[in-house]
Structure 1
Amino acid sequence: MSKSMSSGQQVLIELRKMIISGEIPGGARVAEIPTAEMLGVSRQPVRMAFRLLEQEGLLLKNPTRGYTVREISPKLIQDALEVRGVLEGLAAKKLAEKGLNTQQQDQLMQCITQIDPIFKKTELSNEDIETYHHYNTIFHNTIIQGSDNVAIVQALSKNNQLPLASAQALTYDKNNPLSEFRRLHHAHIQHCAIFNALKNRDSARAESLMREHSHVVTLGDMMRSIFNSDLPS
């Protein structure tokens, strides 16, 4: 890992990707020092990443020392994303019915305008990925908190403990930069459509778009499976 990948957020994204892809397999024991050496970083960002990955349900803390990688199935990820879509869709519906206040509208618009410039290139840098992650998290939290529904907030908090269920659980596969660029750009376009539905108080469309948006996590894998499949002769 290069020095440009030494920030805590980038270490977290890299480790998350390695676990989800199976590069670090389920059942494997991981510890700070060998992981830091493998990534070429200090122990501190690895320690922080381990704690966050435990909260996301990707790591299980051992009784003595270190962590064990959780066994993750595609079904578990799909189930968690489906529940997230239902809950975030409901949040968007509630917010659209109430209507955006000035602060919410400004905050969502800022997220869109801050993210948009990173897609004027053909490949995302580490800094671009951090920018996307930062404003993507704010975008989702604004809608969730804007629903003014404690039950939705608490249910999402519980569901976020499952693999890839949280909007903060961003992955980026540097081995597939084109499909990852397309995936995140598609998500950005969805943000624009969601914002427009919220602004127009179109609750049905806001809910539908938000539910569909939850599946952008697996869009890259879906695209690769289509293009890598054996086509009929």
Structure 2
Amino acid sequence: MYTEMSAQVRAQVRLRELILSGELPPGSRVAELAIVERLGVSRTPIRAALLRLEQEGLIESLPGGGYAVRSFSERDVSDAIELRGTVEGLVARTAAERGAPAEVLDEARAVLRDIDQVLARAALDDESFSRYVELNGRFHVLLGELAASPLLAREMERVASLPFASPSAFVIAQSNTPQARDMLIVAQDHHWQVLAAIEAREGSRAEALMREHSRIAQRNLRAVVQSQEHDRMPGVRLIRKRG
């Protein structure tokens, strides 16, 4: 069972990479047998990985069997980001109103201090952006734990798995822009403010801050889609431009 599950995870990760890198472009057919031959993994974990990627929304089942890589309208992605902001806002308000576990607050503060160290550099290289993505993801997971609600934490995880709705979905794509570091500094200020609001038991303020926090991702979405480099960016090619 453990070996089979590990094979499923590996297949899922590899398939996601093929899609986001453009090796499997939007509209291309993803046949189970072809993927088995390509990845050298048995059919059972491949089938499970394909089902998982369908749940994530990266592929869709075809009437005649098999799957196809999906593309997304700009509105699809915007709605997914808005949904994440709504759920995270609810989580932040719940954490503030119920009172967050002290040990989780301590861990969240430690993560934010680590992010402060990353952003203290005058210029951020690829390693710095990767480190930010790792820490940012950890902070958002801890936010789910602050509400002490397994149900809300699961909903946060589900929403973040929607295509391009994760907290750092557009960070790497924006890493080469002059405004990238400034945008991360603003996002980090939101992190500290929402944590302070939760500690102060200010539910409405905590919720409003997380809703506003998602607006940064909305701005990043617009910037990336409008960029002249849009078609060269891994993953972003799945997003259809308006018009």
Q: Shared topology, TM-score over 0.5?
A: yes
Q: TM-score range by the shorter chain?
A: 0.5 to 0.7
Report the AA paired with residue 102 of structure 2. T
Report the AA paired with residue 102 of structure 1. A
| Worse-matched range after superposition: 205-214 or 142-151 | 142-151
What per-residue deviation string (whole Å, max 9, x for no partner) do you get for residues 147-180 of structure 1?
1234323333333342122336454126733232
Residues 1-233 of structure 1: pairs in structure 2 closer than 5 A: 26-28=26-28, 56-59=56-59, 68-167=68-167, 169=169, 171-173=171-173, 176-222=176-222
Identity of aligned residues (%): 31
* Contact 2:129/2:171, CA 8 A, preserved across alignment: no
Root mean square deviation of aligned Cα: 3.8
What per-residue deviation string (whole Å, max 9, x for no partner) do you get for residues 113-170 of structure 1?
1011222234322221222122212211112122123432333333334212233645
1:129 and 1:118, CA in 2 relative to 1: closer, same or farther beyond 3 A? same
How many equivalent residue pairs? 199
Q: Distance in 2 between matches of 1:136 and 1:210?
A: 14
1:125 and 1:132, CA in 2 relative to 1: closer, same or farther beyond 3 A? same
Q: Distance in 1 between matches of 2:123 and 2:61?
A: 36
Classify the secondary structure of the residue corresponding to 1:167.
coil
CA shift, 1:94, in A, is: 0.8
CA shift, 1:99, in A, is: 2.3
What per-residue deviation string (whole Å, max 9, x for no partner) do you get for residues 50-98 of structure 1?
989777433568977xx85421111111111111111111110111112
1:225 and 1:142, CA in 2 relative to 1: closer, same or farther beyond 3 A? closer
Report the AA paired with residue 203 of structure 1. G
CA shift, 1:28, in A, is: 4.4
* Contact 1:133/1:170, CA 8 A, preserved across alignment: no
**TM-score, with length taken from structure 2:** 0.64
| Worse-matched range after superposition: 54-63 or 185-194 | 54-63
| Worse-matched range after superposition: 119-128 or 53-62 | 53-62
1:15 and 1:119, CA in 2 relative to 1: closer, same or farther beyond 3 A? farther
Larger radius of gyration: 2
Flag structure 1 segments of 5+ consecutive residues without an equivalent. 1-10, 33-49, 229-233
State the partner residue of 2:40. none
* Contact 1:17/1:171, CA 8 A, preserved across alignment: no
